[in-house]
Structure 1
Amino acid sequence: MSFLARIPGALAPLAAALALFVSLPASAAPSKAQVAIDALAERMRTAESDYRSALVSIANADPEGQVKADRAIEDMEDAINACMKQRGCSVSTMLATYKRLLKLGADDAGAEEDFEADAGLDEPGQLASDVPEAARAAALLSGPRHRFDQIVEHNPAVQEGIRRWLTDMRGALITSYENYQYMRHLMWPQYERADLPEALLFGIMAKESNGRVHATSRAGAAGPLQFMYATGRRFGLGDDGTGFDTRYDPRAAAEANVAYLNERLGQLNGSIEMSLAAYNGGEGRAQRVFNGSGGRSFWDETVYNQFPAETRDYVPMVIAAAWLFLHPREYGLSLPRVRPKPAPLRLEQPASIYQLTICMGNRGVREGYMRALRNLNPRYQADSWLPAGTVLNATTGMVGLYHRWCTQGRRAELARMLVLSDPKRAIVRTGPVTPVRDGEVPQASTGAAAVTQAPSATKAEETRDYTVQGGETLFSIARKFQCSVPQLASANGISGPRYAIRPGQRLRLAGCKG
């Protein structure tokens, strides 16, 4: 009986294939190099499939989508690196796949790319979903005698404002745009319901605060739209009973701003310019000037000169910023692409906004995420220690970066170390210093003096034990008990750079003073 005859029927095809393979000459079998290349190609295909699946999750606002995309990107990068070291492997093929996938919408760190505004941002069709049409906004922004586009085209004061925004203040304008995009879902609906143009909201915010919700002025104005305390109280802003001033809340500030402008528009014959003058220079003054002039335009000399220099600067600067918001392409202005899709971020361990800013990094985002996190969470100070379980307002990209970089690993530990570092620990106390005259050589302490100091040093080095609590790190324990992290790690056999410890672990507090 042959070998194949003794194999059960279900396994016969497999056995036949095996026998055929064994009978092939050695030269026909795949080489080790080819096997490695095929494995890398399969790894690349798997990563590509995972990446496409992750994009679907991101589109559905699944916070895990960015995590999956990051993981797939890492797999692709590892495969490419291995391919570069493998003889005969086609790196160019893998790079083509990698670049093609990145163009689909998610990158290797949730990075946000710049894009050219001349791709059509100021075309009405493009603006329909995000920005009011230019014609509609111009009508709403017009005073009793001027249409908005005519003001921009022919009014030298507004033209000067555009020049300033595009030269010395270009950085401030772009920063304002970035900050606004993160808060847009909180602020724009208030304007939309009142049928006011989004460009006006952006112009006021850019001039008042550059989109920083915690901005305050020497005069006492506060928040992204800079309400004075008394004016804010009139429109529902102020202490909410918890000690938080809602002037700093972007949603509440936008709602109050709409109410204020509607009141001014009703009293100032619908003039946006005069309403802006009231917002900056005081509503009482604006009403008196308006009534005394018989309702003339803000640009009329008899009206214009009755406002202080600050207000005469404020009105055209707001209008200029609003116009650039609507017409970036016309002026060669490239605005950054921001991915502001809101998502909740639940802290898995205690952290501060400072710590999150460090561990999230700033790949593709010029200034990182601290301002966005602060703007979306105005109740928290940047250095406030937030307990595990705290839910922060964030974006899908931030959530992905948090899970990738902030919960474990070297960067997470470095971020904790930096926010827990105490500069006082850099100062070493070595005892009294004996003044030395010129020409004298200081003598080392010997004898009784040295013996006298020994007991105190021994007392400082007394060791105790401590049980690690949940959420603690070696850095936080070192800071709590005034220890050196390396000394504490050495005394307990803990290796860096992560200095990993676990709840319930007993530590010897060697060299600790607290």
Structure 2
Amino acid sequence: MPARFPIHALRLAPLFAALSALAGCATSGGSHAAPTPQLDTLYGQLDQASKSYEMALQQAREGDAPASQKTLSGALEQLKRASAQCGGVAGCDPQRFFAVYDRLLRLKDGSFSLGDDVEVSGEQMPEATAAGKTGAASLPQAQRSVTLLHGQKLSELIAMNGPVKAALEMWLTQWRSNLMDAYVNYQYMRYQMWPAYQSRDLPEAILFGIMAKESGGKVHAVSRSGAAGPLQFMYATGLRFGLNSDGGFDERFDPALAARANAEYLDEQLGIFNNNLEVTLAAYNGGEGRMRRLVGDDTAVSFYDPRIYNQLSQETRDYVPAVLAAAWLFLHPDSYNLRFPKVDGVPGSITLSRPASLSELTVCLGSAGGMDSGWFRTLRNLNPRVDPQVALPAGTRLVLPKLLEKPYAARCTDGPWPILANDLHTAVVPVVPTTPDPPPARVSATAKSRSYTVKRGDTLAGIVRKLGCSDVQEVAQLNGIRQQHIKPGQTLKLPACR
């Protein structure tokens, strides 16, 4: 059934009162520091931001969404500048800025569903809009990835607590290059992966967060534990959600099929855990059976409740906030001094005019379209069933970004580049034969031997263990006996150790 969205009647007083109280408390300087002109100026900007919030809500209520968003953006910029100065002003409390900043950032998501800040009216939107689209597909592009998680707003579910903030710092520092690679990889696969989430009203940001953390958008990634594909399905879980072997190809490596299976998995687990997103993500990483045992009937329990959090592996404790932090940055890059590259992900295709492998195409395409790192990863991701080292015959159809169709025709069908690419690809590397290690020397039955008199309680295996340089079969053969047929007083020949 198509999703139906309530129209919200905005109620300004509660949040504005809270923001005004926050700003008023700030201008008083609190009990920890006497006000100074610099401090008054900074807290005055905080007060102005809260007034801008009131104006933005009023503009939205009057139906002027562009003006509302512009007002919010200006307030956010003002807060960023003021909070940056806060550290250098004695007595300034940065947490007062961050509280307002976080609230405005959530509002900027494109919906005014802020809990106590709004009331829900009985009006309903039509089930279909222009172009016949329904559900999340009927919303403006900027809102699609932030609107619903089974009736809840994603930005309201991501708590800005310590673990998530720590993960934000990691994505913005040590993991930054991984985040950028994941974003570029995702944009070229988006048309294959996003529809599965869209059809279930799941947030695109969560899909990106999972993919960024799991594989970085590398379709052929395989973990030490055997999880495979862009969304790292274990073999048994993949089978459960229809990821089989198709002619020897592991469908966990197919981005469209993996996204479909992932959306089904999340849908299932969100139903089990009553839309508890953090617990659902923990189940995806640590196993749903374990999470069901920990959560029991209390599906509203917080992932960070010590009864849950303290029983999880460190990997799962890190995984959940890392996914949420990547999702948050996907929604709000500018607010964290992050700029994702512009990617033209419109899909296209070519038909090979001459035999070529994906490796050869990567060489002849070079940095076409401004891709300084080359196109190997993208070509592999979009053609997951193709061995990149195997030359494909002329007439083979390959999927690639549309922006590469003209460079392929100009560079890879004729001229020096395909010749160079083929010459490099077919280069002969000398094979140095390896000499296998000789097997350990074993004393034969004809070699010098010594004797041993069997004692009560001896077994052939025990005698051999004492010897330490032979085996039961060799001793049995040397004496012409079966392994169990020894008796006290019997003299056995034993191989001499070298």
Bin the TM-score by the shorter chain.
0.5 to 0.7
Q: Measure, in 2, the Cα distance between the counterparts of 1:375 and 1:191.
A: 19
Match of 2:157 among 127, 135, 148: 148
Cα–Cα, structure 1 residues 311 and 272, in superposed 2: closer, same or farther, change >3 Å?
A: same
Cα–Cα, structure 1 residues 422 and 140, in superposed 2: closer, same or farther, change >3 Å?
A: farther
Q: Measure, in 1, the Cα distance between the counterparts of 2:143 and 2:408.
A: 31
Give the match's secondary structure for 1:147. Answer: helix
Alignment partner of 1:351 is 2:356: yes
In structure 1, what is the equivalent of residue 266 of structure 2? 261
Q: Measure, in 2, the Cα distance between the counterparts of 1:136 and 1:148.
A: 10
Cα–Cα, structure 1 residues 130 and 366, in superposed 2: closer, same or farther, change >3 Å?
A: farther
Give the match's secondary structure for 2:201. Answer: coil
Q: Match for 1:278: what amino acid?
A: A
Q: Measure, in 2, the Cα distance between the counterparts of 1:141 and 1:383.
A: 45
Cα–Cα, structure 1 residues 401 and 252, in superposed 2: closer, same or farther, change >3 Å?
A: same
Match of 2:285 among 280, 288, 306: 280
In structure 2, what is the equivalent of residue 337 of structure 1? 342
Match of 1:300 among 302, 305, 312: 305
Displacement after TM superposition at 1:147 (Å): 2.3
Alignment partner of 1:132 is 2:134: no
Give the match's secondary structure for 2:190. Answer: helix
Displacement after TM superposition at 1:409 (Å): 1.2
Match of 2:211 among 205, 222, 247: 205
In structure 2, what is the equivalent of residue 411 of structure 1? 417
Displacement after TM superposition at 1:139 (Å): 6.7
In structure 1, what is the equivalent of residue 275 of structure 2? 270
Q: Measure, in 2, the Cα distance between the counterparts of 1:199 and 1:137.
A: 11
1:23-34 to 2 correspondence within 5 Å?
A: none
Displacement after TM superposition at 1:134 (Å): 3.9
Task: Extract unaligned runs of 5+ from structure 2.
Answer: 1-76, 78-104, 112-138, 433-498
Q: Match for 1:354: what amino acid?
A: S
In structure 2, what is the equivalent of residue 95 of structure 1? none
Q: Measure, in 1, the Cα distance between the counterparts of 2:153 and 2:418.
A: 48
Q: Measure, in 1, the Cα distance between the counterparts of 2:397 and 2:169.
A: 42
Give the match's secondary structure for 1:236. Answer: coil
Give the match's secondary structure for 1:423. Answer: coil
Match of 2:314 among 303, 306, 309: 309
Q: Measure, in 1, the Cα distance between the counterparts of 2:168 and 2:141.
A: 25
For these two proteins, the number of residue pairs brought into alignment is 299
Q: Measure, in 1, the Cα distance between the counterparts of 2:152 and 2:213.
A: 19
Cα–Cα, structure 1 residues 212 and 304, in superposed 2: closer, same or farther, change >3 Å?
A: same
Alignment partner of 1:372 is 2:378: yes
In structure 1, what is the equivalent of residue 400 of structure 2? 394
Q: Which has the higher strand share?
A: 2
Q: Measure, in 2, the Cα distance between the counterparts of 1:294 and 1:201.
A: 22
Match of 2:179 among 173, 181, 205: 173
The worse-fitting range, judged by mean Cα deviation, of 223-232 and 286-295 is: 286-295
Give the match's secondary structure for 2:296. Answer: helix
In structure 2, what is the equivalent of residue 251 of structure 1? 256
Cα–Cα, structure 1 residues 307 and 297, in superposed 2: closer, same or farther, change >3 Å?
A: same
1:79-228 to 2 correspondence within 5 Å?
A: 124=110, 128-129=140-141, 132=144, 134=146, 136=148, 140=152, 147-149=156-158, 151-152=159-160, 155-228=161-234
In structure 1, what is the equivalent of residue 119 of structure 2? none
Q: Measure, in 2, the Cα distance between the counterparts of 1:256 and 1:128.
A: 26
CA contact (8 A) 2:185 2:378 kept: yes
Q: Measure, in 1, the Cα distance between the counterparts of 2:302 and 2:109.
A: 30
Q: Measure, in 1, the Cα distance between the counterparts of 2:353 and 2:187.
A: 27
**Percent identity of paired positions between Structure 1 and Structure 2:** 48
CA contact (8 A) 1:139 1:147 kept: no
Q: Match for 1:270: what amino acid?
A: N
| Superimposed CA distance per residue, residues 371-393 of structure 1 (whole angstroms, 9 cap, x where no aligned partner) | 11100000012102111100001
CA contact (8 A) 2:149 2:201 kept: no
Q: Measure, in 1, the Cα distance between the counterparts of 2:313 and 2:295.
A: 15
Displacement after TM superposition at 1:298 (Å): 0.6
Cα–Cα, structure 1 residues 194 and 341, in superposed 2: closer, same or farther, change >3 Å?
A: same
| RMSD (Å), alpha carbons | 2.3
Q: Match for 1:412: what amino acid?
A: P
CA contact (8 A) 1:141 1:197 kept: no
Q: Match for 2:394: what amino acid?
A: A
Cα–Cα, structure 1 residues 139 and 170, in superposed 2: closer, same or farther, change >3 Å?
A: farther
| Superimposed CA distance per residue, residues 308-362 of structure 1 (whole angstroms, 9 cap, x where no aligned partner) | 1000000000000000000001011111111111112100010000000000001
CA contact (8 A) 1:342 1:393 kept: yes
CA contact (8 A) 1:131 1:326 kept: no
Match of 1:238 among 240, 244, 250: 244
CA contact (8 A) 2:147 2:153 kept: no
TM-score (norm 1): 0.55
Q: Measure, in 2, the Cα distance between the counterparts of 1:168 and 1:224.
A: 21
